[in-house]
Structure 1
């Protein structure tokens, strides 16, 4: 068994053997222990070989006091001040029956164990100068403070354009290499457009720049491109890679996230506005924790909502919550620190100075962030349109309100009279409040064999026979006196058609007539028919109309009905002409005659007796409450509310009230949507523990951790001195603090890599010990300091200022042409003796073709779109749960970055050209070259449509000359003018295509499709389409020179 596994095995049994072993320990030495003379030799001889600077079995290091007390993968091994509770003492004493440390070599003698025991009991005193020299992990270049280096002196000073160039030229001159000349203006403007916008320049822009001889023409071009709204798209796409952005959850079900795009829009807006990178960082990691955080700052935290979400049945929610926190931790390490932090999830990092405990200190910052829903504004354009519409709406409301107030000022006497009348009516009603009473010994029968089942609420449900016309007879008795009305409730029920309350198929009914009799006897021998004074209902069918009053009009051809409000509860009240005075009790019989036919009968109903006085004025409840307040005690707002209500009744003001009501129905809706973000857990904060081997089910409860940084970097401290621990906001501020050397270096390197194809540190994702060393370390630090601190012409942390500095350098402006003399000295162009040729990214391959064809929509932001997709791709979706409906109109040809990205079935046009899968952070895209790429750009539906539209554009060109048209086509694609040889080849290609399609008319029609150009035959159109297809497949077209 290896020492590592032996040590782990020991810890698994230590909980059971520890107490027994402690009783057998050698006694501690009875004297003051000197670390240098007594302890260090023992540690150096027996421990540091496996637990020192070069090797840390089980993540345990014993060559410094801090490391010793911190412990390893299996927890703490020393309890300072208590040797009996120190695991290490038990293991080296030989008293454990299963394990002895060290596993190889001589064992410690009892008196040596006694020395260690005494040293531990005396507090583990360890002088600072007695630790071994710090190893490479801690002295690694990237952990050191950023140096403010001086710009070097060089010989060829006339080549320099800004402060970047001396650093590059100095390295070239050391090796006797001259820099390459500046690229021509055709190349420069196309290079800048592709690098800054991801779009090719128009020919008008190219020609204007080529002819512009002013010294500042290049800088003005750079400034114009940096101000373009497309800049945010181009550089936002880089950030989306790092954020692992996608429009779906991932995992098996991979459900869509329809509103995820709103965070993508935030990124584009933030980059276009040049939000300083430190604030850009803080808002995305902890925007919700900022004082008075805005909706947009909370939206920014959706950076860490881009984690995958598992919605499969039977999953453990806690497991996947922890997995999301792991991902957030490791993404933070990769994006801001350039470190492979994930290696320390299960054990101390084998190469970098990141212990497992430190991993969980970073993890702890995310452990109390929960995914929540936040309401955020839609796009700035929609917000602007809403603001304009709302201002117009408010003005119209204010105008009508002013007219209403002018008329209200004249209502004094009329309003006072109404108020007095209303209060009197309410007082009368209050003296005799309305009450409902059920009949006793209630029974229901019908003349059509209908069955009635009594319900718990006192209602009856009809079932069984359902004749076309029917009469229900309800009998019962009561001793309630002073009955003023009868109330009939018709109720919905799941057993009825359309839930009722009627029994006809659509749920309606028609109550034609109702008669009510009372009698002192159950046989109704001396019955008296009650007379009704009127009726009302909560709802009445409008088309005839079918009103409640028609139930007591003596006409069997009328009645009460409730279409279209089926499936709802309704009521009708039938007021008696005279209150019913009763002595003792009386019998009551009511007949509900339903004579409309076609089974329009009531399905569920309840008949009640009503006592009390109906108010002579019907008033809303809120108005009744206002009237109950004495005028002198009402607030100004209450008085205005009461006056506004009366104004809806008065003839002089009613029109204005109605106008306001209609206006308010047209109030513009706020352009808002909900987005899932990460917000701080407010209640029951979680504790964070180190997980044994990264297993969330095995927390080492004796190893609780709080948010903190890495020991190799400056400490992370709570911003509030009274705070118990740090949080995500402290983490974010730590990442961009002035004394954190990694974030500026890593960010500068990311940007440099995008503009040169290779970072100053080639291992963009690894600034650790195993990563590459910087090719130009002084330049990296100079750029990092400039980026972090700003200067007279730029604010600190300005992305745009850094990019402008780089692209205006002579280094960036060099030609990319291969040089034989560099092949031996610098085959990878590490020293930057020339620019690099780079294939454009997947999204831009498509964008360029559509743009040249005149098809590309340059609309910015908004929901993701669904361009044409090859058949069968969505069949990969879980249980067919996702349908890809091709977008139409402008959305069909939006820029590639807006294509809906489904993690389990991404668009093949993107993945074939190396778009990342969005499952993990991607700080660097790697380009591949495969035959499949050429097959896509030649034959894919999108690229075929681009070829057709491009050909139509060329055939519509003002010149009918082939050479002019072909030159125009070539320049549209690569900006420069073709050479004579290139034009000759294109002319030959066009001629060959003409010959073929003249001889193959069916193929001509098939290729031309619906493309029609005035004056061009199908075979001529097809010949130009075939030629355009080849021009669009030039290597130079999809290459940034």
Structure 2
């Protein structure tokens, strides 16, 4: 076996021996000035630091600082000062000797990359970061406690509006840079409107602000915008990106989620109400686990129901449940911790201190949260409307109830007498139990040559011809006294169609009427007809209905039937009005009249006499139970229920009872809907194991884990001291714990990025080792503390307070004009010497055009809508399980955030302007610039309609001349007055358009579409539409300055 030391010595000998031989084989040095950060650092990080960095130093060699590099390792120095040809490092990475090539695993350096290293060494190994070694996983800045830092002193203190400016200005002054002047007021109000509401200001609002000289005018404007209900829409849309919100499941089936919007409404409401971010977090991650949880807190957990759902045939439900838990785990890591947690799903993180075991500790918190259905209120407007309607309905019910009680009070002694009689009958039923008796000498006859065969169980089976209608006559003798009812059993039989019990093809029958007679003689010369009091059956056909009670109503067009319960045994009991009193014996004749027609006759039946008392025929079961309670033991409610029942038997109160019943049936339904949410598994909790390479079928059963935090962060403790295991609620509270150094930093950075286009930490999605360091670390911590702890004027975790703090700073209020003198010093504007120009998001691009055209609906919340799609898209992407039907009226022009979002086929206007696909969390939208974007805003149906409406708006308003009208148009679009040059260009453009459309009347009519304006010719209308279209396609129009 070769020992490491022997291998090291051997390598040294080989390297020394090879130096003189390999020089002519080396790639030449790069012939240019080498930049360490751009050229060298990426090569060292990619090829060297894994084995020769902060975590590991193979052969005692460390290459992540200049001092360590020059020091060398066990093989001595690897760098010869300014002489790459004699540097061992170059020989090792060049691959000239296959026995010693580095790195031994992974891709080798290309000749050009070796040339870069050679030139860097020859130029003196310039390392701008000095000798500071690379951060280790445990010393990384983001894992350190948040520091309470005092704002630094600055020279130009008159520029400072709040402490944010002190941190920014201090860095600028170190470099001798002055901040930019404040933007003009027109720019400021448009900037604020777009940032806080995503809507442009009106001309009136601009004029009011521009002409308001009060010192607090700007702050008042900020306060007004923060109170706007559209604020929740704007900042809710940012949160929907992080939540991967969509209106469909995703994957191949991509079924719609029609009620998903209710969670979107919850987000808008929560942000409008400035729900503290810690509570906002807890309710979305674990609202179902809060004490006395509400329906809205359960609804909040739909944040993690936004995962994709695979409903394809043959899928393994457990596989996709686990996939959903993966997504929830990784989304939590990205949104709250700013870490690329997903890298540790299959193996320990290569850079950050997240082991695979720790990944599954976080995963464990979600492993027992299942997707369930929760009933939640609809929109606040619908709830308010329901409350009004319900109050009116309740008042009407109360009025009828008062009248009914007055009538019931008149019943008095009659009710008491009925109650006594009913209790006696109930007692008799106990003393006289039910018994069944067969008739002696039983015989069955019928017209139409129907034959009957007696069966062993006492039943009769019909055979022979099946007439259209039939009457079965059953006779026999009895000596049983006190017969109280007849029982008819209809029975299945294999000889009958569909096994019966009827003889028609489908097995049904209709018994229209039944009669019973008794006689002292067999010839029934002195027969006496008995009356029935009631009837019931085990099953009754519901469609007409066909009920047992209809057999004794004296009508031949009603009766008892049993569809669709064919091929089964059924029974009906017909109660006599008075028990049969016998002195000796009597002959009995019963007729079963089947007059419906169409051969609906009975195939097999059994008739029995019943003795005993069965109050349930005349008294409902609930009334029997009430009567069984002693009078002095009944509650007021029970007494009223008995009185209500008796009243229903009294002619004087029947009308009121029916009126009350009808009212109760018309009670307005609660405005509720069902939403899929995450609820904690009620029983049989799952165990969580590390999964080998993230494969759900390969749990490492020897590595069971429970919910816990990453080792680099403060511990996650169960809230219940008696519990040994944390859960989702503990996770949620840990995320927003004052001890957690990440959540407040990450959240502040998200908000900062939305307002400046770049985070204080530029890598918004990665606060880990591979992420960017904060440009202003002290400012980040100061903001994180302010956000987390609040102050005398702001509650802790207030989103609105943080936004107000930032947008009222001088830093935010700077002009965004480009400064060429800073291009070399600060090309990315990292130091914030000016504001940044930002293209608005996809939804806002559309909203701005519709708003200027006067088309935009500003209705808030509610179901998603279906604006027009480009031709062919509906046939291609909405031809299966879901049809896209264009919305009409107000819904056609709702704000873009309400557009129905189908994951496999999102609206192309949104995706073209970089709207995320909602398959994964998105904490930062990127803005591209493509020709297709211009083609959409020029030619798409929605934007054409906006241009038409904009032109109609301009031509419908009084104006002294073209210049006044064009100035109005310019101000509507950009909130500022055009310069003389801009107005001159617009005037020329309008003239060119007029000339063209006068000569091309057909083109004018085509462009105008359905737009007509009284007193304005088609060519003039078209000229203004074409001009309006250009204004709506200005870069400045879709840019936040």
TM-score (norm 2): 0.79
Match of residue 608 from structure 2: 609
Match of residue 559 from structure 1: 556
- Deviation for aligned residue 1:196: 0.3
- Counterpart CA distance in 2 for 1:946 and 1:826 is 40
When structure 1 is superposed on structure 2, of 405-414 and 661-670 the one drifting more is 405-414
- Deviation for aligned residue 1:392: 3.7
Match of residue 121 from structure 2: none
Q: Given that residues 541 and 547 in structure 1 are in contact (C-alpha distance below 8 angstroms), is that contact kept between their aligned partners in structure 2?
A: no
- Counterpart CA distance in 2 for 1:759 and 1:457 is 88
Match of residue 982 from structure 2: 982
Match of residue 783 from structure 2: 783
Match of residue 855 from structure 2: 855
- Counterpart CA distance in 2 for 1:374 and 1:454 is 58
Q: Secondary structure of 1:136's partner?
A: coil
Q: Given that residues 857 and 895 in structure 1 are in contact (C-alpha distance below 8 angstroms), is that contact kept between their aligned partners in structure 2?
A: yes
Match of residue 803 from structure 1: 803
Match of residue 759 from structure 1: 759
- Deviation for aligned residue 1:426: 3.9
Q: 1:1021 to 1:412 in 2, by over 3 A?
A: same
Q: Secondary structure of 2:686's partner?
A: coil
- Deviation for aligned residue 1:942: 1.6
Kindly provide the CA deviation profile for residues 866-924 of structure 1, in whole angstroms up to 9, marking residues without a partner as x.
11122443555598112111122221111111111111111111111111011111000
Match of residue 235 from structure 1: 235
Kindly provide the CA deviation profile for residues 408-467 of structure 1, in whole angstroms up to 9, marking residues without a partner as x.
555443322232233344445555556666789999887668899999999999999876
Match of residue 86 from structure 2: none
Match of residue 592 from structure 1: 593
Q: 1:1028 to 1:658 in 2, by over 3 A?
A: same
- Counterpart CA distance in 2 for 1:937 and 1:464 is 82
Kindly provide the CA deviation profile for residues 103-150 of structure 1, in whole angstroms up to 9, marking residues without a partner as x.
x9xxxxxxxxxxxxxxxxxxxxxxxxxxxx996111111111111111
- Counterpart CA distance in 1 for 2:456 and 2:222 is 80
- Deviation for aligned residue 1:223: 0.2
Q: Given that residues 460 and 606 in structure 2 are in contact (C-alpha distance below 8 angstroms), is that contact kept between their aligned partners in structure 1?
A: no
When structure 1 is superposed on structure 2, of 884-893 and 332-341 the one drifting more is 884-893
Match of residue 618 from structure 1: 618
- Deviation for aligned residue 1:960: 6.1
Match of residue 531 from structure 1: 529
When structure 1 is superposed on structure 2, of 961-970 and 420-429 the one drifting more is 420-429
Match of residue 470 from structure 1: 469
Q: Structure 2 matches for 1:515-914, cutoff 5 A?
A: 531-534=529-532, 559-561=556-558, 573=574, 575=576, 579=580, 590=591, 592-594=593-595, 599=598, 601-602=600-601, 606=605, 608-612=607-611, 618-650=618-650, 656-875=656-875, 880-914=880-914
Q: 1:705 to 1:620 in 2, by over 3 A?
A: same
- Deviation for aligned residue 1:1004: 2.5
- Deviation for aligned residue 1:780: 0.7
- Deviation for aligned residue 1:737: 1.0
- Deviation for aligned residue 1:504: 9.5
Kindly provide the CA deviation profile for residues 791-843 of structure 1, in whole angstroms up to 9, marking residues without a partner as x.
11111111100000000011111111111111121111111111111111011
Kindly provide the CA deviation profile for residues 933-979 of structure 1, in whole angstroms up to 9, marking residues without a partner as x.
11111222222222222222122112263222222222111111122
Q: Secondary structure of 2:740's partner?
A: coil
Q: 1:696 to 1:508 in 2, by over 3 A?
A: closer
What stretches of structure 2 of length at least 5 have no aligned partner?
Answer: 4-48, 59-103, 105-132
Q: 1:462 to 1:999 in 2, by over 3 A?
A: farther
- Deviation for aligned residue 1:1000: 2.7
When structure 1 is superposed on structure 2, of 991-1000 and 675-684 the one drifting more is 991-1000
Q: Given that residues 551 and 558 in structure 2 are in contact (C-alpha distance below 8 angstroms), is that contact kept between their aligned partners in structure 1?
A: no
- Counterpart CA distance in 2 for 1:710 and 1:540 is 64
Kindly provide the CA deviation profile for residues 468-491 of structure 1, in whole angstroms up to 9, marking residues without a partner as x.
x43254668786835555456789
Residue 159 in 1 paired to residue 159 in 2?
A: yes
- Counterpart CA distance in 1 for 2:1026 and 2:704 is 68
- Counterpart CA distance in 2 for 1:686 and 1:586 is 72
Match of residue 999 from structure 1: 999
When structure 1 is superposed on structure 2, of 429-438 and 771-780 the one drifting more is 429-438
Kindly provide the CA deviation profile for residues 842-883 of structure 1, in whole angstroms up to 9, marking residues without a partner as x.
111111111111111111111111111224435555981121
Q: Given that residues 422 and 617 in structure 1 are in contact (C-alpha distance below 8 angstroms), is that contact kept between their aligned partners in structure 2?
A: no
Q: 1:434 to 1:985 in 2, by over 3 A?
A: farther
Q: Structure 2 matches for 1:398-417, cutoff 5 A?
A: 398-405=398-405, 408-409=408-409, 411-417=411-417
Q: Given that residues 338 and 765 in structure 1 are in contact (C-alpha distance below 8 angstroms), is that contact kept between their aligned partners in structure 2?
A: yes
- Deviation for aligned residue 1:532: 4.2
Q: 1:492 to 1:988 in 2, by over 3 A?
A: farther
Kindly provide the CA deviation profile for residues 960-1016 of structure 1, in whole angstroms up to 9, marking residues without a partner as x.
632222222221111111222222222222233233333333333322222222112
Residue 173 in 1 paired to residue 170 in 2?
A: no
Q: Structure 2 matches for 1:172-571, cutoff 5 A?
A: 172-405=172-405, 408-409=408-409, 411-428=411-428, 431-432=431-432, 469-471=468-470, 473=472, 481-482=480-481, 483=483, 485-486=485-486, 531-534=529-532, 559-561=556-558
Q: Given that residues 532 and 552 in structure 2 are in contact (C-alpha distance below 8 angstroms), is that contact kept between their aligned partners in structure 1?
A: no
Q: 1:757 to 1:540 in 2, by over 3 A?
A: closer
Q: 1:425 to 1:913 in 2, by over 3 A?
A: same
Q: Given that residues 546 and 561 in structure 2 are in contact (C-alpha distance below 8 angstroms), is that contact kept between their aligned partners in structure 1?
A: no
- Deviation for aligned residue 1:293: 1.4
Match of residue 140 from structure 1: 140
Q: Secondary structure of 1:887's partner?
A: coil
Q: Given that residues 518 and 527 in structure 1 are in contact (C-alpha distance below 8 angstroms), is that contact kept between their aligned partners in structure 2?
A: no
Match of residue 78 from structure 1: none
- Deviation for aligned residue 1:632: 2.4
Q: 1:903 to 1:440 in 2, by over 3 A?
A: farther
Q: CA RMSD in A?
A: 4.3
Q: 1:614 to 1:831 in 2, by over 3 A?
A: closer
Q: Given that residues 463 and 603 in structure 1 are in contact (C-alpha distance below 8 angstroms), is that contact kept between their aligned partners in structure 2?
A: no
Q: 1:637 to 1:563 in 2, by over 3 A?
A: closer
Q: Given that residues 225 and 231 in structure 1 are in contact (C-alpha distance below 8 angstroms), is that contact kept between their aligned partners in structure 2?
A: yes
- Deviation for aligned residue 1:674: 1.4
Q: 1:441 to 1:996 in 2, by over 3 A?
A: farther
Kindly provide the CA deviation profile for residues 78-114 of structure 1, in whole angstroms up to 9, marking residues without a partner as x.
xxxxxxxxxxxxxxxxxxxxxxxxxx9xxxxxxxxxx
- Counterpart CA distance in 2 for 1:155 and 1:737 is 37
Q: Given that residues 478 and 586 in structure 2 are in contact (C-alpha distance below 8 angstroms), is that contact kept between their aligned partners in structure 1?
A: yes
Q: Secondary structure of 2:241's partner?
A: helix
Match of residue 969 from structure 2: 969
- Deviation for aligned residue 1:604: 7.0
- Deviation for aligned residue 1:552: 9.2
Q: Given that residues 546 and 559 in structure 2 are in contact (C-alpha distance below 8 angstroms), is that contact kept between their aligned partners in structure 1?
A: no
What stretches of structure 1 of length at least 5 have no aligned partner?
Answer: 4-47, 58-103, 105-132
Kindly provide the CA deviation profile for residues 142-171 of structure 1, in whole angstroms up to 9, marking residues without a partner as x.
111111111111121111111111111111
Q: Given that residues 172 and 831 in structure 1 are in contact (C-alpha distance below 8 angstroms), is that contact kept between their aligned partners in structure 2?
A: yes
Q: Given that residues 516 and 529 in structure 1 are in contact (C-alpha distance below 8 angstroms), is that contact kept between their aligned partners in structure 2?
A: no
Q: Given that residues 536 and 549 in structure 1 are in contact (C-alpha distance below 8 angstroms), is that contact kept between their aligned partners in structure 2?
A: no
Match of residue 917 from structure 1: 917
Q: 1:929 to 1:540 in 2, by over 3 A?
A: closer
Match of residue 1040 from structure 2: 1040
- Counterpart CA distance in 2 for 1:785 and 1:227 is 24
Q: Structure 2 matches for 1:14-53, cutoff 5 A?
A: none
Counting matched residue pairs gives: 914
Q: 1:693 to 1:488 in 2, by over 3 A?
A: same
